[in-house]
Structure 1
Amino acid sequence: MNQIIPNSASGRDIKFHAHPQTNFRLHEQVGPAIVDSGDGVRISDTDGQQLIDGMAGLWCASLGYSERRLVEVAHAQMLKLPYIQTFAHRTSEPVIDLAEALIARAPSPMSKALFQASGSEAVDTAIKLSWFYHAAIGKPEKRKIIGRQRAYHGTTIASASLTGLPNMHNGWGLPLPGFLHVSCPDTYRGMLADETEEAYSARLGEELEALILREGPETISAFFAEPVMGTGGVVVPPRGYFDHVQRILRKYEILFVADEVICGFGRTGAYWGSQLYGLEPDMLTCAKGLSSAYFPISALMMTDRVYQAVADFTAQLGGFGHGYTYGGHPVGAAVANETLKIYDEIDICGQVRAKAPILQDGLRALAGSSIVGDVRGIGLMAAVEFVEDKAEKRPFAPAAGIGAKVADAVKARGVLLRALGPTLVFSPPLVAAPGDIEAIVAAVKGGIEEVEGQLGR
């Protein structure tokens, strides 16, 4: 029987609402926090608590919660043309404009943009397109997909298989056959004591090449990577890592897909994470910041080499058997176009670079805590990893729920963050004022000290 849990302020009955990424039984006991409104970088719930959203929703509300230009553009487009599909030679002016804007802003030469409604769908499309491309060039046996441990790429069957997080596989019978994973390039957990970052990168490159040779290069379709891992714990790659990766992929004619769903549109301080590491992907996926989360939309960009092969194949087959009802939604495209204009006008990357030291240096100043093992990040994305023993890097037992305890203590101080196991992650709106970021750091400092006290440290 469904349990009924009223929210204390609203009295709302929540028994019909299931929640993703949630323990259903625990949720039946604790109920939801119902967010009622947002203003700037703050959200308010129906209990009257106001919080700085230190995660920008899910890494996505880059312009905060009260950018009226996006609301007005969405309203105007809904009045003019609320929907049209992009199947079979149809489109709309906003979609044409958005494709042109994205291709112009791409970190390396791209030819076409294909639209979806979510990052998961964009990644799923890239997986399918890698198979379609290789079939088009007469190599249909190139089907295997390589991802990385701790990578996050989405929750569709294919994108979750590509994801390298056990909680995305357990109980689902995933990953599907043909999805392979190499090590996460985490210098804190993976680099040897006497190893330089460059040597660590070379070793990771050797591991990738060994996997390719073991599986057979003629069977490998594509390699996917976030420039900086997000949900896996904000893992910044070691120096030279992507130089080795790209050299190996080119050697064995394997497509490289950059997943910029989190990193894109200024999060790292560069417009694209790819620009930081000299990436030249064959395909690139983006979402989240594309519309500052004001409307569901994602895009997949592809090089002309990929497009030309695919186009020839569609002519041979009589069509392109792929697409989504809401791919290329005119309202989403209109909102995304205005979002990109705002980014340009306010120099979003310059803003992030100017404010990043407040977050990064502020969090690194907490490294002396007895429970902080590692602080890492770039731009306005960061992570603090908690450990029981700093010398041995020994993590707390999962049952201790240390990350959640710190997150709760931080929330009590007016800041909403996300705990991913023993790691607290940060992704504030890119328009957060310096004072907002200082408040985030201060709340975290207080939260860590409170939990240390509970542990008797």
Structure 2
Amino acid sequence: MNTYTSEQLRAWDKRHVWHPFTQMQDWEREEPIVITRGEGCWLIDSDGKRYLDGVAAMWTNVHGHCRKELNEALKLQVDRLEHSTLLGLASEQSVILAHKLAEIAPSGLDRVFYSDNGSTAMEVAVKMAYQFQVHLGRPERSRFITFKNGYHGDTLGAVSVGGIDIYHTTFRPLMFETVQAPAPYCYRCELGCSDQAACGMKCLDVLEALMAEHAATCAGLVIEPLIQGAGGMIVQPHGFLKRVRELCDYYDLLMVTDEVATGFGRTGRMFACENEDVVPDIMAVSKGIAAGYLPIAATLTNERVYGAFLGEYAELKTFFHGHTFTGNPLACAVALRSLELFESDHLLENLQPKIALLGGRLESMMALPHVGNVRQCGMAAGIELVDDRESRRAYPWEQKIGVRVCQEARRHGIFSRPLGNTVVVFPPLVVSPDELDFLMDGLDRSIRTITGD
């Protein structure tokens, strides 16, 4: 293996690499951290410095970095087959993984369409839902009901069903039209709510009115179950998701759930929908499916949706969508081994005390004057920083308070990344209680330093 100095790597990075969601002019002024290794919940840079991975490699890591069992699964598979195709062939590992996903998914979601990331999983879901309506003789049902602050990826279909202006406004001329409903966010609610439960009820009332008006022209509803991730870790009140399911049934809308961030244990259950006994019609998964090792995604649906695509060749009912690396054997092999580790490590059971520990640490952070709100769903949380808590006045965007807190956290051995002025807490699921305390201690100190508390 070639060895390069930190200085060379940083220089080449600035010269050649265009980073996602990054103002590159700022990046070129800074000294980037270049990660070369990972061990458990820790990242190690080219200078040998260690950082606790507070965002689980962009919300993907489940079992820690370089987990021995996953490494071995990958090595075994690469000696057998690196890649084939699902266009005209079946593939052993993709078959076994599809069978396993059908076993653990909410009841009835037993048809699996593979892709390669969360955006494409949602692109598949949107196209699948619309083509389903076409096959039912309802081509006028071409829109989707979506939620403000929603985020479903960066391909154009996924962007169209999103609802975060800073990410999506630029591309509006390229987007298709949707019907946007308010999302429950009582801390900065636009509906004048008094608390989270009241906010949820008002949002549901507005949602039902929108469905009554627009259902006849909509293919389905798209939602992040329980928590909106990129929108700021916005947690829905209990019962919200279940009522959305009931409304979708009443107005004959397909319910599409985006479990890209919430799936595979993040909320304390294998899938977020299970927390409210909800079964969607279409469910997109990615990120944690292969524990952060390789790009893979899947869109799961039921027999009703799948059946609408069956017909004679000449009827052109085929789902005309595909990806070169669909069902990649390497990714599928790692995903299967990851699901085995969920069982052998009793991962979901062991999460519960850590979820409680995180909740306690978040609650204590509310004592800081510039922490306006904390939000938690399982092992995902957000700490919202404000200029003035009493008036709920936000920090001006250009002050980059969230960014500065996360930069300060590096001095305490933590890598984190904010969503605006919300500091994200999203560690690998195997994080130990001591490591979780280390993470929260470092974020606490960083917030105090940057906000002057």
| TM tier relative to shorter chain | over 0.9
Aligned to 1:81, the other structure's residue is in SS state coil
Letter of the structure 1 residue corresponding to residue 28 of structure 2: E
- Equivalence for 1:448: 447
- Equivalence for 1:3: none
In 2, distance between residues paired with 1:343 and 1:415? 26
Deviation per residue, 1:235-271 (Å, 9 max, x gap): 1111321233222211211110111111111111111
8 Å CA contact 1:136, 1:313 repeated in 2: no
Aligned to 2:310, the other structure's residue is in SS state helix
Aligned to 1:327, the other structure's residue is in SS state coil
In 1, distance between residues paired with 2:362 and 2:36? 30
Output aligned runs, 1:32-431, within 5 Å. Answer: 32-88=32-88, 90-173=89-172, 176-190=175-189, 195=194, 197-214=196-213, 216-227=214-225, 228-312=227-311, 316-317=315-316, 319-431=318-430
In 2, distance between residues paired with 1:303 and 1:400? 47
In 1, distance between residues paired with 2:87 and 2:17? 33
Give the TM-score normalised by structure 1. 0.93
In 2, distance between residues paired with 1:358 and 1:165? 31
8 Å CA contact 2:294, 2:331 repeated in 1: yes
Aligned to 2:131, the other structure's residue is in SS state helix
- Equivalence for 1:23: 23
Letter of the structure 1 residue corresponding to residue 32 of structure 2: P
User: Share of identical aligned residues, percent?
Assistant: 28
Alignment CA distance shift 1:314-1:41 (3 Å): farther
Give the Å deviation of 1:311. 2.2
8 Å CA contact 2:10, 2:34 repeated in 1: no
Give the Å deviation of 1:196. 5.3
Alignment CA distance shift 1:431-1:364 (3 Å): same
Alignment CA distance shift 1:318-1:249 (3 Å): closer
Higher mean C-alpha deviation, range 61-70 or range 305-314:
305-314
Deviation per residue, 1:67-101 (Å, 9 max, x gap): 1211221121111111111013x121111100000
**Runs of 4+, deviation exceeding 3 Å:** 6-12, 191-199, 312-315
In 2, distance between residues paired with 1:11 and 1:381? 31
Aligned to 1:130, the other structure's residue is in SS state helix
8 Å CA contact 2:153, 2:159 repeated in 1: yes
8 Å CA contact 2:121, 2:284 repeated in 1: yes
Aligned to 2:243, the other structure's residue is in SS state helix
Deviation per residue, 1:377-407 (Å, 9 max, x gap): 0211110001111112110111111111211
8 Å CA contact 1:136, 1:312 repeated in 2: no
Alignment CA distance shift 1:74-1:314 (3 Å): farther
Alignment CA distance shift 1:405-1:28 (3 Å): closer
Give the Å deviation of 1:192. 6.6
Give the Å deviation of 1:318. 6.2
Give the Å deviation of 1:60. 0.6
Deviation per residue, 1:8-59 (Å, 9 max, x gap): 3746422122111111222232253211110010001113321000110111
Give the Å deviation of 1:170. 3.5
Give the Å deviation of 1:418. 1.1
Deviation per residue, 1:267-286 (Å, 9 max, x gap): 11111100112222001111
Alignment CA distance shift 1:263-1:313 (3 Å): farther
8 Å CA contact 1:187, 1:238 repeated in 2: no
Give the Å deviation of 1:323. 0.8
Deviation per residue, 1:414-457 (Å, 9 max, x gap): 1111111110011100011110000011111111221232xxx5
8 Å CA contact 1:8, 1:47 repeated in 2: no
Structure 1: gaps of 5 or more residues: 1-5
Give the Å deviation of 1:193. 6.9
Aligned to 2:109, the other structure's residue is in SS state coil
Aligned to 1:172, the other structure's residue is in SS state helix
In 1, distance between residues paired with 2:317 and 2:10? 56
Letter of the structure 2 residue corresponding to residue 275 of structure 1: E
In 2, distance between residues paired with 1:401 and 1:200? 28
Give the TM-score normalised by structure 2. 0.94
8 Å CA contact 1:191, 1:197 repeated in 2: no
Give the Å deviation of 1:201. 2.3
In 2, distance between residues paired with 1:188 and 1:262? 22
Higher mean C-alpha deviation, range 245-254 or range 304-313:
304-313
In 2, distance between residues paired with 1:98 and 1:314? 28
8 Å CA contact 1:54, 1:428 repeated in 2: yes
Give the Å deviation of 1:176. 1.2
8 Å CA contact 1:122, 1:285 repeated in 2: yes
Letter of the structure 2 residue corresponding to residue 296 of structure 1: P
Aligned-pair Cα RMSD in Å: 1.9
In 2, distance between residues paired with 1:132 and 1:366? 48
Give the Å deviation of 1:313. 7.6
8 Å CA contact 1:386, 1:395 repeated in 2: yes
In 2, distance between residues paired with 1:273 and 1:183? 20
Give the Å deviation of 1:103. 0.5
Alignment CA distance shift 1:425-1:313 (3 Å): farther
8 Å CA contact 2:289, 2:297 repeated in 1: yes
Letter of the structure 1 residue corresponding to residue 349 of structure 2: G
Give the Å deviation of 1:148. 1.1
In 1, distance between residues paired with 2:21 and 2:350? 32
Letter of the structure 2 residue corresponding to residue 74 of structure 1: L
Structure 2: gaps of 5 or more residues: none
